[in-house]
Copies of this chain bind each other. A is one copy, B any other.
Amino acid sequence: MLTRHSIPIRVRYSETDAMGMLHHANYLNYFEVGRTELFRAQGGNYRRMEEMGMFLVVAKLEVRYLKPARYDDLLILTTELQRSTPARIEHVYELRRDDELLCTARSTLACVDRDGCLQRIPDDLHRQTGEP
Q: Is the CB of A71 within 8 A of B18?
A: yes
Copies of this protein chain in the complex: 4
Q: Contacts A29-B12, A50-B18 hold; do A63 and B65 have CB atoms under 8 A apart?
A: no
| Residue total for A at the interface (Cβ-Cβ under 8 A) | 38
Q: Is the CB of B14 within 8 A of A55?
A: no
Question: Which of B25, B60, B61 has a CB less than 8 Å from the CB of A26?
Answer: B25
A-B residue pairs in contact (CB < 8 Å), sample of 7: A13-B17, A14-B17, A16-B18, A25-B28, A58-B65, A59-B65, A61-B62
5 cross-chain pairs, A with B, having the tightest CB-CB distances, nearest first: A25-B28, A16-B18, A14-B29, A47-B72, A18-B20
Known: A12-B29, A19-B55. 5 other contacts (CB 8 A): A24-B28, A47-B71, A47-B72, A59-B64, A61-B61
